[in-house]
Amino acid sequence: MISSKELQVSFQEFERENMSELHLNNLNEAQRIAVETIDGPVLVLAGAGTGKTRVLTTRIAHILLHRYAWPSQVLAVTFTNKASQEMKERVNRLIGHSAEGLWLGTFHSLCVRILRHHSELIGLKSNFTILDTDDQLRLIKQLLKAEELDDKRYPPRQVLGCIGRWKDRGLLPEKITAAQMSKSGYVGDENTLKIYKDYQQRLQILNAVDFGDLLLLTVTLFTTHPSVLKTYQDQFKYILVDEYQDTNIVQYLWLRLLAMGNQNNLCCVGDDDQSIYGWRGAEIGNILKFEQDFPGAKIIRLEENYRSTPQILGAASTLIAHNNSRLGKTLRTQRDGGEPVQVRGVWDGEEEARFVGEEIENFHRKSENLSSIAILVRASFQMREFEDRFITLGVPYRVIGGPRFYERQEIRDALAYLRVVMQPNDSLAFERIINTPRRGIGNSTLQTLHAYARINLISLVEATRILLETDELRGQAKAALSSLLLDFDRWRSMLEKVPPKELTGIILDESGYTAMWLEDKSPDAPGRLENLKELAAAVGQFESIASFLEHVSLIMENSVVSQGDMVSLMTLHAAKGLEFDTVFLAGWEEGLFPNPRALTEAGEGGLEEERRLAYVGLTRAKKRAIITFAVNRRLPGEWQSSMPSRFIDELAREHIEVINQPGIFGRGRGRWEETITVQERPRSSSFYDQMQPQTTTSLFSLGDRVFHIKFGYGRVTEISGDKLDVHFEHTGLKKVMASFVVRK
């Protein structure tokens, strides 16, 4: 007779086996092969929307359910805490219980775990502190001061960034050569190297590490203590890595060391076509040379896409095929039909925002959720016009991956300068920028000003003026405040004489605020500068700075952030890993996308990464993708004519549909009325060849209000062939070509 305990064990075995098979049956053939191929090195090339997370979690569950290893013998690495948590929950559901002991987490969290256990071997105590960025900067400033190095020549944030890049490459101070210093920016010299050495010594004294140390010190531990490395090599029978295309050099070294053990059962999942983080240290070479690094490796391609339509996949596949540095795969789907990828030409950025807003309203009226719609831009400054439009229309939206335009740090700072110019008694604005950029005005000085203002019931600026006549303020702080108030007085006197846009630029330049970001070499500094230029351009659309500030106040008052149904607005980088029914891909123009800075700094490699970014954007769309380009664009702040991005010309003609605003490119009869399908074009002709300006005289009548990029708004007074006489509001009567104006 079978005992109850034996019966329970048998039932558990039956349940485990059937649970495993059940989930294997839900996989396609390629996914199943990726799950069941557990011996030796495996690279799973998982295209966008092909179910890579399902493969990873099912592979872990497969190993555990079939008892190929205990949870403590499985190491799974992700890039974010969110991804780790989601993966852990999925694995638990698949195996029917909690996988206690499983080593699943980010690179950093796993390294902390290892370092706390072996801290004494690297000169630390197990309770070491992990410094945040503020603490790191404070320490760098102390070291610069001790070495009597000018913080203008060696900006602390830039020095810290240089040290971070060295750590990402697995380089301790003693291993850095002259060639490696030259790759780390203009501050990467002997002085910076000395600061790096002092910085690491100071960290050890403080019993502290930074985030870069977590991986670097673990690699150092493994290389200097082979017995420790051997312990972990023997422990981990199976290693799994997500988003392998995004690994940097030190992460690669860490994985390589662990995978060199007797087992060598390493499974890396990634997509070389979605490697878009080269600017922050990711090495696409890690995934491209996988077979070279791990001889005998199996390459399994996941090519069946469960997200997008055949039209979207066809366009995306032909685009990415122009890259040379790739392992190669072609996405396919069993879905039928779908709309072609739409390519729409518009007059300018304002028209682009208006069109997108109207289309979103149309989709919403057809009962489509706003949360199923996203707008993806190459640069954050592009968001401003969309945000203004959405607020005007009352369309709720969220910015993914960062604050809204008018909520960004640099924009709030710039607005504070403008507010004080317009309203000297605006104490809140004055306090915000009183020491931004740094002028040597410390907390004690600020407390003195606040105390006097509070006692006398006056503004902070007025208190400053009075105290400057006394000895309450001294030294550098007094000189800086005196100079600052003189600046504000001078800028205020220019309000009636200088155009708003020009004056905004003067204020930002003369205050030193622009220079502050020019000297800042952090990755987000160029974007902040672009945002400031976009702000100046926005000011230029108003009669005065006062009217612009009123506009900002009103739209921010109407901008209520909720957690409900909202359109998503984000950069292409922030969109990776997300999906939406409808995706608007805005600003596909030369000079904007591909990003000129990426081309200048990285050449052909930069162009290929930009193309991968375009591919990522397209493959976020499930039902429809709409690409827009403007023939006139502020980039940023300066108007310039633009041509469609080269990426548009690389899209397969059979998968796109071009709809152009008349008077721009193409043959439209009226505004957004005629669709020009690619099939109508000669097959030998390129997209650019088809985009020649057409005569649009028939579109205009006497008295029409029109817009010209140079002369602004005006009314048609005479029509002569393809030429128009237009009386412009600010420049008077001008004769212009009909193709250079648009009806408003």
Distance CA 245, CA 268 (A): 9
Pick from 271, 305, 240: nearest CA to 46: 271
Question: Residue 122 — φ and ψ, nearest 5°?
Answer: -115, 20
Helices and strands, counts by H and E, the chain: 28, 23
How far is the first Cα of the chain from the last one, in angstroms, to the nearest whole number? Answer: 90
Cα dist. 553→388, 412, 556, 557 in Å?
Answer: 12, 12, 5, 6
Cα dist. 651→300, 312, 403, 539 in Å?
Answer: 27, 10, 32, 37
Cα dist. 734→648, 705, 716 in Å?
Answer: 35, 14, 10
Q: Any catalytic annotation for residue 388?
A: no
Instruction: State both tokens at 267.
Output: 């499974």
Q: Map 351-373 to HEC letters.
A: HHHHHHHHHHHHHHHCCCCHHHE
Distance CA 180, CA 172 (A): 12
Q: Which listed residue (620, 622, 634, 653) is catalytic?
A: 620
Q: Can you list the pairs that 442-450 forms with residues at least 24 positions away whose Cβ atoms lie under 8 Å? A: 442/477, 445/473, 445/477, 445/481, 448/472, 448/473
Q: Which listed residue (198, 213, 242, 246) is catalytic?
A: 242
Across the strands, what pairs with 741?
708
Task: With H, G, I as helix, E, B as strand and everything else as coil, classify residue 612.
Answer: helix
Cα dist. 223→115, 230, 575 in Å?
Answer: 14, 10, 37
**Amino acid letter, residue 528:** R
Question: Residue 255 — φ and ψ, nearest 5°?
Answer: -65, -40
Distance CA 710, CA 698 (A): 22
Q: Which listed residue (168, 198, 213, 243) is catalytic?
A: 243
- Residue 398: CB atoms within 10 A of its CB come to 17
Task: With H, G, I as helix, E, B as strand and everything else as coil, classify residue 723.
Answer: strand
- For 323, counting Cβ atoms within 10 Å of its Cβ (0-12 exposed, 13-18 middle, 19+ buried), the class is middle
Q: Any catalytic annotation for residue 93?
A: no
Distance CA 463, CA 520 (A): 32
DSSP letter at 479 equals: H
Pick from 329, 276, 420, 354: nearest CA to 584: 354
Q: Any catalytic annotation for residue 274?
A: yes
Distance CA 698, CA 576 (A): 45
Q: Which listed residue (53, 231, 235, 423) is catalytic?
A: 53
Q: Which listed residue (31, 200, 233, 274) is catalytic?
A: 274
Question: Residue 194 — φ and ψ, nearest 5°?
Answer: -65, -45
Distance CA 477, CA 34 (A): 66
**Amino acid letter, residue 714:** G
Q: Any catalytic annotation for residue 612?
A: no
Q: Is the peptide bond before 41 cis (omega within 30 degrees of 0)?
A: no
Task: With H, G, I as helix, E, B as strand and everything else as coil, classify residue 726.
Answer: strand
CB within 8 Å of 648: residues ≥ 6 apart: 343, 588, 627, 629, 687
Beta strands in 525-597 (DSSP E): 567-571, 580-585
The length of the chain in residues reads 744
Q: Any catalytic annotation for residue 620?
A: yes
- Residue 549: CB atoms within 10 A of its CB come to 18
Q: Any catalytic annotation for residue 579?
A: no
Q: Which residues are catalytic?
A: 52-53, 242-243, 274, 620
